[in-house]
Structure 1
């Protein structure tokens, strides 16, 4: 828009009635959201000038895409591409609303459910769900191994197994001769057949190893089981030889300290035993467990097949990752 046309537009705003002002604010808000999304995507392109097809860094501007994103033409292979080509967000048709979903996942105090966010953005709930799976794939592929030193705290928390979306019982009833019976009863069987619920740390409780040090490094990692050897294998590459290990009385931690020759402080869960020798405790890890419980509770038990994505989601929230970082890592 030319400058004098823009001035004429601003002068016309004085003649708008309240309803028209509301419509104008909504339109400007939508335009600002789209512009911000386009800016983030084009910033991703400006960081890496190479063609996603042949790797040539020579290019020229070649119009814009349907979503107003700058398109380029490679001078080597003559193919056109944009900032989304070859990325995990390459087929998302509403990058502006995708950025809003990212802000809800990373920036809001408490992420909304899929249905609430879909209603807010006027989208189908399955669209929001697919976008979350896209974000999970991005943050899992961009994860960086945590480095620990000094006083290291370690403990496990547990998440009940969930088979949401599983069709195993449907397949079993459809073909009982050839399909083996699933190992876990259906939840309705506990009431209709009078089955007793397993209490405590049963085989349906999935262990999640939590490690933290006094420097702020944190790690959540789902373990296949809660055997001592499994805990020892998971902890071995994380703990340097000069570290001090604080944990509960689990055999996995004791075996690790004995094999590596680590200084090991064992703390208890009862009052008076939670701190050993003044500064040796696992209160930071216990705080992470409380944060995990608050984070995971609104999702009413996520499916076990997606649990790693939720764990990594919590890690990036605690690390303060911004939506722009997700776009650049896509």
Structure 2
């Protein structure tokens, strides 16, 4: 598995830097908030205000972004594999267009953020160039009806699709709906925006919208990506589907003794391995489905779980506080209790 080092940390860094509490109204009909993926308009604005006012914490993060390869004003689009169909195998073998997707989606998000924060049009132009180039992407071999060449491992295509879908919509949201402090738009045309949305709908959505039934990091990446596409495309049905998937997967990923008893909750799809974890009691409270595998994959699933829940909250949802967990004694537990417990365990 290839690790994408910048997408999640950048999201968390900016989310932490701009942590602003604001009221969320739950409405009976979906009212879309834009930009509204992972971070809200209020959080984005608070971050920009802090940056412009010389806040050192935010300024240090922005400076790191500017100094990174993804935030370079001379960033060059890497693009997909020649022919429009990339090939991704286990352990990055083969790696035909996969690292390029990581890099370009990371860069698109960072460049969009930097444009919003600084008002520098070069960043907007770079982000537009990246996403306009990927609007003609056809997908990953072995997914969505695309054949895998004989003798080639295409098993990571679905996972790569999840990873990409966790970043592309975030970048597009900020670039299209965001405005600089002077009120200027990025200049991304409605045609370019529509072409990119259609690519997400036709290439990524069919691959990720039903999850995988494999490991938690796979499914949560797909659920997060599905929710992000739903918000960008204002697809209420898809948003509700992502919410249902999230609610079904969280109990299976994060063990809670008071609710689950002597075994972890059943997976709503597939039968993911717990990698040797066999003891489920108070002594193993809060273990994750992949804790005994390694902490990297565990962190991936927690990160995607939280990003999806943040987006849901911004869009008026209540995944964090869902109480569809009950024990024989009638104990009620919020979904966030499982997540916080998992965070506390891994923090040790």
Q: Please classify the TM superposition score into its range, dividing by the shorter chain length.
A: under 0.3
Give 1 or 2: higher strand fraction: 1
* Structure whose CA Rg is larger: 1
TM-score, normalised relative to structure 2: 0.23
Give 1 or 2: higher helix fraction: 2
